[in-house]
Amino acid sequence: MGYRHVFSDNFYRAEIDPERIGVQHYEEAIIQDIEFAAVQTGARIVIIDNLTYLCNSSEKGDVAGLFIMKLMALKKKHALTLLIISHTPKRNLSNPITQNDLAGSKKLYNFFDNVFAIGQSAQDKRIKFVKQVKVRASEYMYDSDNVIVYEITSEDGYVRFLHKGYGKESEHLRDKSEEDESQVRSYILTCHREGKSVREIADLVNRSKTSVHRIIAREKNKEDITPVEAVPPGDVGQVGQVGHLGQLGQSEPVQVHGKSGIREDLVFEMDENHCFL
Protein backbone atom coordinates (compact mmCIF):
# COMPACT_ATOMS: atom_id res chain seq x y z
CA MET A 1 0.00 0.00 0.00
CA GLY A 2 1.58 3.27 -1.11
CA TYR A 3 1.40 6.75 0.33
CA ARG A 4 -0.02 9.82 -1.35
CA HIS A 5 2.03 12.97 -0.92
CA VAL A 6 0.02 16.07 0.00
CA PHE A 7 1.31 19.22 -1.67
CA SER A 8 0.97 22.74 -0.28
CA ASP A 9 -2.27 24.65 -0.90
CA ASN A 10 -0.13 27.30 -2.57
CA PHE A 11 0.87 24.86 -5.31
CA TYR A 12 -1.31 25.01 -8.44
CA ARG A 13 -0.97 22.69 -11.40
CA ALA A 14 -2.43 23.60 -14.77
CA GLU A 15 -2.71 21.52 -17.93
CA ILE A 16 -3.51 22.39 -21.53
CA ASP A 17 -6.96 21.29 -22.64
CA PRO A 18 -6.37 20.25 -26.29
CA GLU A 19 -10.09 20.43 -27.07
CA ARG A 20 -10.36 24.10 -26.13
CA ILE A 21 -7.27 25.53 -27.77
CA GLY A 22 -6.96 26.14 -31.48
CA VAL A 23 -4.08 25.50 -33.84
CA GLN A 24 -3.78 29.12 -34.98
CA HIS A 25 -1.97 31.54 -32.66
CA TYR A 26 -1.24 28.61 -30.37
CA GLU A 27 1.78 30.18 -28.63
CA GLU A 28 0.01 33.52 -28.03
CA ALA A 29 -2.98 31.76 -26.46
CA ILE A 30 -0.68 29.79 -24.16
CA ILE A 31 1.09 32.93 -22.92
CA GLN A 32 -2.23 34.69 -22.30
CA ASP A 33 -3.46 31.70 -20.28
CA ILE A 34 -0.24 31.65 -18.23
CA GLU A 35 -0.67 35.34 -17.43
CA PHE A 36 -4.33 34.88 -16.50
CA ALA A 37 -3.53 31.94 -14.18
CA ALA A 38 -0.66 33.82 -12.50
CA VAL A 39 -2.83 36.88 -11.84
CA GLN A 40 -5.79 34.86 -10.58
CA THR A 41 -3.74 32.80 -8.13
CA GLY A 42 -1.32 35.54 -7.14
CA ALA A 43 1.59 33.27 -8.03
CA ARG A 44 5.10 34.73 -7.96
CA ILE A 45 6.88 31.63 -9.31
CA VAL A 46 5.81 29.98 -12.57
CA ILE A 47 7.24 26.64 -13.72
CA ILE A 48 6.83 25.85 -17.42
CA ASP A 49 7.19 22.17 -18.28
CA ASN A 50 8.22 21.95 -20.98
CA LEU A 51 9.31 24.55 -23.53
CA THR A 52 9.31 22.17 -26.51
CA TYR A 53 5.64 21.30 -25.91
CA LEU A 54 4.57 24.94 -25.64
CA CYS A 55 6.60 26.21 -28.57
CA ASN A 56 6.32 23.74 -31.42
CA SER A 57 8.92 25.60 -33.49
CA SER A 58 11.56 25.89 -30.78
CA GLU A 59 14.23 24.70 -33.22
CA LYS A 60 13.60 27.74 -35.43
CA GLY A 61 15.58 30.69 -34.13
CA ASP A 62 13.19 33.52 -35.02
CA VAL A 63 10.02 31.79 -33.79
CA ALA A 64 11.62 30.51 -30.59
CA GLY A 65 13.23 33.88 -29.89
CA LEU A 66 9.93 35.71 -30.26
CA PHE A 67 8.19 33.24 -27.92
CA ILE A 68 10.85 33.68 -25.21
CA MET A 69 10.76 37.47 -25.58
CA LYS A 70 7.03 37.40 -24.84
CA LEU A 71 7.65 35.27 -21.76
CA MET A 72 10.35 37.70 -20.61
CA ALA A 73 7.92 40.60 -21.05
CA LEU A 74 5.38 38.69 -18.94
CA LYS A 75 8.02 38.15 -16.26
CA LYS A 76 8.85 41.86 -16.03
CA LYS A 77 5.22 42.96 -16.15
CA HIS A 78 4.19 40.92 -13.11
CA ALA A 79 7.61 40.54 -11.38
CA LEU A 80 7.55 36.77 -11.84
CA THR A 81 10.27 34.20 -11.45
CA LEU A 82 10.16 31.78 -14.38
CA LEU A 83 11.60 28.27 -14.25
CA ILE A 84 11.50 27.01 -17.83
CA ILE A 85 12.21 23.31 -18.35
CA SER A 86 13.57 22.17 -21.69
CA HIS A 87 14.38 18.59 -22.56
CA THR A 88 17.58 17.62 -24.31
CA PRO A 89 17.91 15.48 -27.42
CA LYS A 90 19.63 12.11 -27.14
CA ARG A 91 23.23 12.83 -26.21
CA ASN A 92 26.50 10.99 -25.76
CA LEU A 93 26.95 10.33 -22.03
CA SER A 94 30.73 10.37 -22.51
CA ASN A 95 30.74 14.12 -23.19
CA PRO A 96 30.41 16.93 -20.64
CA ILE A 97 27.15 18.89 -20.70
CA THR A 98 27.38 22.19 -22.59
CA GLN A 99 25.00 24.82 -23.94
CA ASN A 100 24.86 22.84 -27.19
CA ASP A 101 22.82 20.13 -25.44
CA LEU A 102 19.86 22.48 -25.01
CA ALA A 103 16.92 21.33 -27.14
CA GLY A 104 15.76 23.77 -29.79
CA SER A 105 17.47 26.80 -31.24
CA LYS A 106 20.70 28.04 -29.64
CA LYS A 107 19.18 31.53 -29.67
CA LEU A 108 17.07 30.48 -26.68
CA TYR A 109 20.22 30.30 -24.59
CA ASN A 110 20.85 34.03 -25.01
CA PHE A 111 17.56 35.02 -23.34
CA PHE A 112 18.01 33.09 -20.10
CA ASP A 113 19.54 34.66 -16.99
CA ASN A 114 20.74 31.33 -15.63
CA VAL A 115 20.88 27.84 -17.09
CA PHE A 116 21.51 24.59 -15.23
CA ALA A 117 21.31 21.01 -16.41
CA ILE A 118 20.50 17.68 -14.74
CA GLY A 119 22.80 14.94 -15.98
CA GLN A 120 22.63 11.16 -15.71
CA SER A 121 25.53 9.56 -13.85
CA ALA A 122 27.31 6.63 -15.49
CA GLN A 123 27.86 5.16 -12.00
CA ASP A 124 24.21 4.47 -11.19
CA LYS A 125 20.89 5.18 -12.93
CA ARG A 126 19.50 6.60 -9.70
CA ILE A 127 22.33 9.11 -9.38
CA LYS A 128 21.92 12.53 -11.00
CA PHE A 129 24.18 15.56 -11.02
CA VAL A 130 23.30 19.23 -11.42
CA LYS A 131 25.66 21.53 -13.32
CA GLN A 132 25.50 25.27 -13.91
CA VAL A 133 25.88 26.01 -17.61
CA LYS A 134 25.25 29.75 -17.65
CA VAL A 135 25.28 32.40 -14.93
CA ARG A 136 24.50 36.03 -15.68
CA ALA A 137 24.22 37.93 -12.40
CA SER A 138 25.28 35.52 -9.64
CA GLU A 139 28.30 33.46 -8.66
CA TYR A 140 29.39 30.59 -10.90
CA MET A 141 29.70 27.89 -8.23
CA TYR A 142 28.61 24.56 -9.71
CA ASP A 143 30.71 24.09 -12.83
CA SER A 144 32.28 20.86 -14.10
CA ASP A 145 34.67 20.76 -11.12
CA ASN A 146 31.90 21.11 -8.52
CA VAL A 147 28.61 19.54 -9.62
CA ILE A 148 25.84 18.81 -7.11
CA VAL A 149 25.18 15.08 -6.72
CA TYR A 150 21.72 13.70 -5.93
CA GLU A 151 20.06 10.32 -5.62
CA ILE A 152 16.46 9.75 -6.69
CA THR A 153 14.51 8.43 -3.74
CA SER A 154 10.90 7.93 -2.73
CA GLU A 155 9.65 8.64 0.77
CA ASP A 156 6.00 8.75 1.84
CA GLY A 157 4.92 8.70 -1.81
CA TYR A 158 7.11 11.69 -2.65
CA VAL A 159 9.72 11.08 -5.36
CA ARG A 160 12.53 13.55 -4.79
CA PHE A 161 16.24 14.28 -4.96
CA LEU A 162 18.31 13.30 -1.92
CA HIS A 163 21.44 15.45 -1.66
CA LYS A 164 24.57 13.24 -1.67
CA GLY A 165 27.30 15.87 -1.83
CA TYR A 166 29.51 17.33 -4.55
CA GLY A 167 31.95 16.02 -7.12
CA LYS A 168 33.53 16.41 -10.53
CA GLU A 169 31.46 15.92 -13.65
CA SER A 170 34.18 13.67 -15.10
CA GLU A 171 33.47 11.15 -12.31
CA HIS A 172 29.96 10.64 -13.68
CA LEU A 173 30.77 10.41 -17.40
CA ARG A 174 30.99 7.14 -19.30
CA ASP A 175 34.39 6.08 -20.62
CA LYS A 176 34.70 6.81 -24.32
CA SER A 177 34.72 3.79 -26.60
CA GLU A 178 35.93 3.43 -30.17
CA GLU A 179 32.28 3.41 -31.25
CA ASP A 180 31.75 6.78 -29.55
CA GLU A 181 34.78 8.24 -31.32
CA SER A 182 33.58 6.85 -34.64
CA GLN A 183 30.18 8.51 -34.17
CA VAL A 184 31.85 11.82 -33.33
CA ARG A 185 34.04 11.65 -36.45
CA SER A 186 31.03 10.78 -38.60
CA TYR A 187 29.06 13.70 -37.15
CA ILE A 188 31.95 16.11 -37.75
CA LEU A 189 32.20 15.08 -41.40
CA THR A 190 28.43 15.37 -41.85
CA CYS A 191 28.45 18.90 -40.43
CA HIS A 192 31.39 19.79 -42.69
CA ARG A 193 29.52 18.60 -45.77
CA GLU A 194 26.52 20.68 -44.69
CA GLY A 195 28.71 23.80 -44.84
CA LYS A 196 29.27 24.43 -41.14
CA SER A 197 32.51 26.15 -40.17
CA VAL A 198 35.22 24.49 -38.10
CA ARG A 199 34.38 26.79 -35.18
CA GLU A 200 30.67 25.87 -35.32
CA ILE A 201 31.47 22.14 -35.45
CA ALA A 202 33.94 22.44 -32.57
CA ASP A 203 31.22 24.04 -30.44
CA LEU A 204 28.73 21.30 -31.36
CA VAL A 205 31.01 18.37 -30.47
CA ASN A 206 32.85 20.09 -27.61
CA ARG A 207 36.25 19.64 -29.28
CA SER A 208 39.03 22.07 -30.10
CA LYS A 209 39.15 23.65 -33.55
CA THR A 210 42.51 21.96 -34.14
CA SER A 211 41.06 18.52 -33.43
CA VAL A 212 38.08 19.10 -35.75
CA HIS A 213 40.32 20.46 -38.51
CA ARG A 214 42.61 17.43 -38.22
CA ILE A 215 39.70 14.99 -38.65
CA ILE A 216 38.37 16.88 -41.70
CA ALA A 217 41.85 17.12 -43.26
CA ARG A 218 42.50 13.41 -42.69
CA GLU A 219 39.26 12.50 -44.48
CA LYS A 220 40.05 14.88 -47.33
CA ASN A 221 43.45 13.25 -47.80
CA LYS A 222 41.75 9.86 -48.09
CA GLU A 223 39.44 11.19 -50.79
CA ASP A 224 42.34 12.78 -52.71
CA ILE A 225 44.27 9.52 -53.02
CA THR A 226 43.31 7.89 -56.34
CA PRO A 227 44.08 4.16 -56.55
CA VAL A 228 46.27 3.17 -59.51
CA GLU A 229 44.54 0.74 -61.83
CA ALA A 230 46.36 -2.25 -63.26
CA VAL A 231 47.53 -1.68 -66.85
CA PRO A 232 46.66 -4.69 -69.03
CA PRO A 233 49.06 -5.71 -71.84
CA GLY A 234 48.63 -3.59 -74.95
CA ASP A 235 46.90 -0.79 -73.04
CA VAL A 236 50.01 0.98 -71.83
CA GLY A 237 49.36 4.71 -71.62
CA GLN A 238 45.54 4.46 -71.54
CA VAL A 239 45.02 4.40 -67.81
CA GLY A 240 48.27 6.18 -66.96
CA GLN A 241 51.39 7.29 -68.73
CA VAL A 242 54.19 4.76 -68.42
CA GLY A 243 57.78 5.98 -68.68
CA HIS A 244 60.70 4.43 -70.59
CA LEU A 245 60.88 0.68 -70.03
CA GLY A 246 64.44 0.17 -71.26
CA GLN A 247 65.71 -2.85 -73.13
CA LEU A 248 64.02 -6.18 -72.70
CA GLY A 249 65.63 -8.26 -70.02
CA GLN A 250 66.82 -5.17 -68.15
CA SER A 251 65.34 -3.90 -64.95
CA GLU A 252 64.69 -0.16 -64.64
CA PRO A 253 62.39 1.86 -62.36
CA VAL A 254 59.12 2.82 -63.97
CA GLN A 255 57.05 5.73 -62.65
CA VAL A 256 53.30 5.74 -63.15
CA HIS A 257 51.51 9.03 -63.67
CA GLY A 258 48.03 8.68 -62.14
CA LYS A 259 44.97 10.86 -62.59
CA SER A 260 45.85 13.13 -59.67
CA GLY A 261 49.49 13.77 -60.67
CA ILE A 262 52.81 11.98 -60.45
CA ARG A 263 52.79 9.15 -57.92
CA GLU A 264 56.42 9.09 -56.87
CA ASP A 265 55.64 6.63 -54.11
CA LEU A 266 54.82 3.90 -56.66
CA VAL A 267 57.82 2.31 -58.39
CA PHE A 268 57.62 -0.81 -60.53
CA GLU A 269 60.29 -2.94 -62.17
CA MET A 270 60.13 -5.29 -65.18
CA ASP A 271 61.76 -8.69 -65.13
CA GLU A 272 62.99 -10.79 -68.08
CA ASN A 273 59.48 -12.15 -68.59
CA HIS A 274 58.21 -8.58 -69.22
CA CYS A 275 56.09 -8.63 -66.05
CA PHE A 276 55.67 -5.82 -63.54
CA LEU A 277 57.03 -6.58 -60.10
The CATH code of the domain at 178-224 is 1.10.10
Q: Would you state the pLDDT for residue 7?
A: 84
In angstroms, the CA 143 to CA 146 distance is: 5
Cβ atoms of residues 92 and 183 within 8 Å: yes
In a 13 Å sphere around the CA of 264, the CA atoms on its Cβ side amount to 0
For 134-190, what is each residue's pLDDT tens digit? 998 888 899 999 999 999 988 777 888 999 999 999 999 887 666 667 777 888 888
Lowest mean pLDDT among 102-106, 198-202, 216-220: 102-106
pLDDT band at 104 (very low <50, low <70, confident <90, very high): low
Interstrand relation of 261-268 and 254-258 (parallel, antiparallel or unpaired) = antiparallel
- Cα 37 vs. chain centroid, distance in angstroms? 35
Q: What is the mean pLDDT of residues 58-62?
A: 59
User: Among 137, 138, 116, 120, which Cα is nearest to 128's?
Assistant: 120
Residue 242 has pLDDT above 50, yes or no: no
- Model confidence pLDDT, tens digit, residues 2-50: 677 788 899 999 888 777 766 677 778 888 889 999 999 999 999 988 8
Question: Could you say which DSSP state residue 170 is in?
Answer: G
pLDDT at 210: 83
pLDDT per residue as tens digits for the range 70-94: 889 999 999 999 998 887 777 777 8
Domain boundaries, the chain: 1-112, 178-224, 229-277
Question: Taking 90 as the threshold, does the pLDDT of residue 225 lie above it?
Answer: no
Q: How confident is the model at residue 119 (pLDDT cuts 50, 70, 90)?
A: very high
Helix (H, G, I), strand (E, B) or coil at 60: coil
Q: Which residues of 163-192 are buried (b: 16+ CB within 10 A; e: fewer)?
A: eeeebebeebbeeeeeeeeeebbeebbebb
* pLDDT band per the 50, 70, 90 thresholds, residue 253: very low
How confident is the model at residue 214, as a pLDDT?
86
Mode of pairing for the β-strands spanning 254-258 and 147-155: unpaired
Neighbouring CB atoms inside 10 A of 97's CB total 24
| pLDDT > 90 in the chain, percent | 23
